[in-house]
Chain A
Amino acid sequence: MTDEGPEQQPAPPERGDVLVAEQEAGGQKTRDTIGDILRSDHPAVVTVLAVICAMIVGAILIIASDSATREAAGYFTAAPMDTISAAWDAVKDAYIALFQGAIYNPNAPQALSPISETLVYATPLILAGLSVTLAFRAGLFNIGAQGQILMSAALAGYIGFAWHLPAGIHIIVAIVGGIVGGAIWAAVAGLLKAKTGAHEVITTIMLNYIAVFFVNWLLTERWFQAPPYNQAQSRTVAGNAQFWHLMGSDLRVNFSFILAIAATVFVWWLLKYGTFGFRVRAVGANQDAARTAGMSVASTYIGVMIVVGALCGLAGVSQILGTANNYQVTASVDGGVGFTAITVALLGRGTAWGTFAAGLLFGALSAGSGQLQVATQTPPDLVQVLQALVVIFIAAPGLIRLIFRLRRSKSAGSAVLAKGWNG
């Protein structure tokens, strides 16, 4: 019983809820100019500022761990400019290397190679990110992308190397197999949530571990492991079931990126025009009201987890039938995408195209990390720090507002609803 009368409604404005007051004040709907947007906390502005903030913190880390800078700092009082220029060089070199690895490298033999790498890294991030995004919209946390990707890759991989089907059909069957593998694994969590109320955060984490050990076990079995049975990797997916390259065989970007675009369009359509999407959004926003309106919360949970798992299934498919993992199943075939996907979904603010863009950004960062290490000896883990920082800054628009003294705008809102275990 919470009959919040109107007297309670003008809640303090911090919460991001729109106030009764706005409605009652009414009338003054002014058109935002570009200048207004730039000075407000419009999502795009916050995103850009968050990336800048993350890079500044990253720069501090680079400086702190740069040996040249530390050397120069040893005689800081004697020649302070040495320290500053060494620090500047370290940061500049690192970020240039990151850029060269991700976007364009004038010295590389293949000018398009960095872009190709970015897309290869971005593909599973986009697919798994979409999966997490869709779960968010249903009010569920899908922490289980890792397990779903592993199960999908194992099944698609098995179909890819063990079955012998004609070209064309083989790849389709393998894709379907991967989708089914991911969908079943996620559906278990959905079913448990719907039928017993077991919290999906716990069940998906547990299912991750089970999937890891399951794949580890597969990799010790003769019918799965690649001869001569001394390495934990599966046999190689047959050529018929491998994705074709998009930009020539020298570049790794492949058909799975097209799948990622298609999945993005699908999720966008589902959330805007789909009847099922309406139900998902309703259950995610207020499951009591959804139930009162006659929607079945339980079947929505199960249904959405099947789709969520299918999207992770596609991510698994892209890992095993694409170029990312040499067409072999290994214990790390998921590429650590599962947890990054959560940050991608957050950055994407619950929308399909936002997630797509976020996946591209994080893919670029991952692609750049290799060059970062080669060119500057900076540990590639820096990229993971940057990714986490971007999301921390984005998830707290209040912080960005505070740092940059932005005005609060109506369009801003928190990325995801605040909910607890009981929600």
Chain B
Amino acid sequence: MKLELRGITKQFGSFTANDHIDLVVEPGQIHALLGENGAGKSTLMNVLYGLYEPTAGEIIVDGEPQKFDGPGDAMRAGIGMVHQHFMLVPVLTVAENVMLGDEYTKSAGMLDQRKAREVVRRLSKDYHLEVNPDVLVEDLPVGIQQRVEILKALARHAKVLILDEPTAVLTPQETDHLMDVMRSLKADGTSIVFISHKLREVRAIADTITVIRRGKVVGQADPSATPAELAALMVGRPVQLQVDKAPADPGDVMLGIEGLHVISPTGQVLVDDVSLQVRAGEIYAVAGVQGNGQSELTEAVVGLVEPTSGTISLDGRDITDTSTDEILGRGVGYVPEDRMHDGLIGSFSIAENLVLDTYDEAPFGNAVSLNLQEITKNATERVEEFDVRTQSAEAAASTLSGGNQQKVVLAREMSRPLKLLVISQPTRGVDVGSQEFVHKRIVAERDRGTAVLLVSTELDEVIGLADRVGVMYAGKIIGELPPTASAEEFGLLMAGQTATDAKEAS
């Protein structure tokens, strides 16, 4: 099936997310769509999938112009999509999720579960996407959930498959498996639109590459182009892919974790016997695939989650049973991974967000009342210092772009004397320009003698920033590596294979 997009434009109010985008996907081709966060890739695919109505432009399938009123129409036209945030219903089984919307029924609208199971089994086998049809999706690891998403599209006979940032949640090995699946789909004549901002993967799998920047197609490239060329095309200027930093000068142990366990109310062991130390003036990075206990580890450090056992100490003092308020007061800065959810209050002004954890301390306020003047003054200074792009410090935090929101959180957490900075996914959803800024500030904080505990699922970021790296898998730190180790070594650990396993395997 040949898919063509002609002059697709999508506007939200006065903001143009897609500006006259042309794209041709030939049958049996893997077409990569490359662009940084916020470039408009996902918007374009949502238009193609019928979720957004384009402001202008045409979608043409095999020469026929199409009008999609919803995803149902797109699916009938043979377009399937694996969303970046999986569109699976957690409380339903794999089989139910696969048939949802296109159910197999017996008489009177009753579900034919047996047939659904058979379809899942058959497709699983054909495409090496093994999954048990009777398991609840919420019990599956993310890597397997992605298989379910692909199966969903295949069960609907998708001829064009859109994969939106599919590797973000995968280990390097799982990524390789996915690429094999993509190749076998291609061999069957399925076209694939592969959306990514990871240059390595795009170059490895794509037949042709279209680069998008600020909602416009800025060029086509061949997979043989160098990473630097692609990056420059993507960002619009030469980019520094490396983080500039001097060797660390570690001091005393600032953060000490001993035998830490965190167990969920349902009995799942989320953090399993973790011990680690972070010294003043060094960056300790926790690498790993999303959902292996990193979030719970950081939350335990700042007192948001009560550890089941184990101790945490800050600068030699035990903080295991201390409240978050007090921990932050003792010089811990915390940048949560999900900033709109945990880091900022969207409806509050930037000024208010900047004092979210110091509003009741001098000079911003006391136990009874706030000092609005000081709060405003502080906001003006921080906005200036951290280059937050906004019309006014009184604007609501939700009006900011991702990068500027992150700057507000950083400005709040870094504008007081810190002993320890706990920072999770510092550049998720942040544009490249702001990424560089964020990285520089983290290194500057380290050089000021702060201990930094960094959690990131982006291996490049970990390697670029860290002085030491611990890889977390299934709640355990299963190995520590220097940042100079190879991607393969990291990959094996991230997939749960310990160093000895790895040796045995080779």
Do the two chains touch directly in the complex (Cβ atoms below 8 Å apart)? yes
Tell me the A residues contacting B by CB distance below 8 Å. Answer: 1-13, 17-26, 29, 273-276, 278-279, 281-282, 285-286, 288-296, 417
B69: CB under 8 A from chain A?
Answer: no
Is B324 touching A291 in the complex (CB atoms < 8 A)?
Answer: yes
Which B residues lie within 8 Å of A296 (CB)?
Answer: 323, 325
Cα–Cα distance between A101 and B310 once the two chains are bound (Å): 71
**Apart from A293-B328, A294-B328, 15 more pairs, CB < 8 Å:** A3-B428, A3-B429, A4-B340, A5-B37, A7-B37, A7-B43, A10-B43, A17-B346, A19-B399, A20-B401, A273-B370, A279-B359, A291-B324, A294-B326, A294-B329
Is B342 touching A25 in the complex (CB atoms < 8 A)?
Answer: no
A282 and B345 contact, CB distance less than 8 A: yes
A-B complex: 10 closest residue pairs judged by Cβ atoms? A21-B15, A6-B38, A294-B325, A5-B429, A10-B12, A293-B357, A293-B356, A7-B42, A25-B14, A294-B324
Chain B residues contacting A293 (CB-CB under 8 Å) are 324, 328, 356-357
B336 at the interface (CB under 8 A from A): yes
Alpha-carbon separation in the docked complex, A296 to B322 (Å): 12
Interchain CB contact under 8 A, A13 and B12: yes
B317 on the interface (CB 8 Å rule)? no
Q: How far is the CB of A270 from chain B (nearest CB, A)?
A: 9
- Tell me how many residue pairs across A and B have CB atoms closer than 8 Å: 156
Report the minimal beta-carbon distance from A2 to chain B, rounded to whole angstroms.
6
> B41–A12 contact, CB under 8 A?
no
Task: Determine the chain A residues whose CB is within 8 A of the CB of B14 once the complex forms.
Answer: 21-22, 25
Residues in A neighbouring B431, C-beta threshold 8 A: 6
B220 within 8 A of A: no
Chain B residues positioned under 8 Å from A285 (CB to CB): 345-348
**Chain B contacts with A in 365-410, Cβ cutoff 8 A:** 365-370, 372, 389-391, 395-396, 398-403
Chain B, 212-265, CB within 8 A of any chain A CB: none
B9 within 8 A of A: no
- List, in ascending order, chain A residues with CB within 8 A of B366's CB: 275
Whether A292 pairs with B324 at a CB distance below 8 angstroms is yes
Which residues between 1 and 45 of chain B lie within 8 Å of chain A, taking CB atoms? 12-15, 17, 37-43
User: With the chains together, A288 CA to B341 CA distance in Å?
Assistant: 7
Docked-complex contact B342 and A5, CB < 8 angstroms: no
Which B residues are closer than 8 A to A by beta carbons?
12-15, 17, 37-43, 52, 85, 290-291, 302, 304, 323-329, 334, 336-338, 340-348, 352, 356-357, 359-360, 365-370, 372, 389-391, 395-396, 398-403, 425, 428-429, 431
Which A residues are CB-close (under 8 A) to B326? 294
Known contacts A13-B13, A294-B324; is A6 also within 8 Å of B341 by CB? no
- Bound together, the chains give a CA A417 to CA B365 distance in angstroms of 27
Bound Cα distance A168, B396 (Å): 48
Which residue in B338, B368, B398 is a CB contact (below 8 Å) of A17?
Answer: B398
- Could you write out 26 A-B pairs with CB less than 8 Å apart? A1-B291, A4-B402, A7-B37, A7-B38, A17-B398, A18-B396, A19-B12, A19-B15, A22-B14, A23-B389, A23-B399, A274-B369, A275-B359, A275-B370, A278-B360, A278-B370, A279-B359, A282-B356, A286-B341, A286-B345, A291-B304, A291-B342, A293-B328, A294-B328, A296-B323, A296-B325
**Nearest-Cβ distance from residue A138 to partner chain B, whole angstroms:** 13
In the bound complex, CA of A289 to CA of B341 (Å): 6
Quick one: given A6-B401, A7-B38, A22-B399, are A274 and B370 in contact (CB under 8 Å)?
Answer: yes
Q: Decide if B334 touches A292 in the complex (CB within 8 Å).
A: yes
Cβ–Cβ contact A5 & B340, under 8 A: no
Chain B hits for A9, CB < 8 A:
401-402
For B85, the chain A residues whose CB sits under 8 A away are 2
Chain A residues lying within 8 Å of B399, measured Cβ to Cβ, are 18-20, 22-23
Contact partners of B428 in chain A: CB under 8 A: 3, 5
The answer to whether A8 touches B15, judged by C-beta atoms less than 8 angstroms apart, is no
Q: Are B365 and A23 in contact (CB under 8 A)?
A: no
Give CA–CA (A290, B425) in the complex, Å. Answer: 20
Q: Which residue of B lies closest to A22 (CB)?
A: B399
Residues from chain B with a CB closer than 8 A to the CB of A3 are 337-338, 425, 428-429
Please pick, from A2, A17, A23, A282, the residue contacting B390 in the complex, using a CB distance under 8 A. A23
